Amino acid sequence: QVQLVESGGGLVQAGGSLRLSCAASGRTVSTGAMGWFRQAPGKEREFVAAIRRSGGFTYYADSVKGRSTISRDNAKNTVYLQMNSLKPEDTAVYYCAAQLVLNIVSIASQKSYDYWGQGTQVTVSS
């Protein structure tokens, strides 16, 4: 089993920044990608960003591209999502997810992820 614990969410004004963290423990997930997804009230969960173990490949949703940076520290088994220029529409619960086996083709698909965290709330006020 793999446990994922997100942190770093909170309330921020529009234009502000937040850095989310996702700490992984348990079974090694070093071979797969890790991703961030989000779910706003009344909406389906959607892809935000993902990164493979080497960190050499990252992928972003158009809605956050240019405003967010995903990174990972394999020594700490932690993935980060730096979000800048936040907008009210970024308000959502943000979830961290991990693949056991790397699936680049489906890296933006929830179905390709095997483990999920409980989520952290991000609220952006206008």
Closest by Cα among 54, 60, 59 to 30: 54
> For strand 10-13 and strand 120-125, is the pairing parallel, antiparallel, or unpaired?
parallel
- Kindly report, residue by residue over 30-53, the tens digit of the pLDDT: 668 999 999 999 999 999 999 997
Statement: residue 57 has pLDDT above 70: yes
pLDDT band at 27 (very low <50, low <70, confident <90, very high): confident
Local confidence band at 2 (pLDDT 50, 70, 90 cut-offs): confident
Joined tokens for residue 45: 């969960």
3-state secondary structure of 111: helix
What 3-state class would DSSP assign to 89?
helix
**Residue the block writes with tokens 């614990």:** 5
Confidence of residue 117 (pLDDT cuts 50, 70, 90): very high
Average pLDDT over residues 57-80: 95
Q: Tell me how far apart the alpha carbons of residues 84 and 77 are, in angstroms, rounded to a whole number.
A: 23
DSSP state of 101: S
Model pLDDT, residue 5: 96
Beta bridge partners of 103: none
What separation, in Å, do the N-terminal and C-terminal C-alpha atoms of the chain show?
40
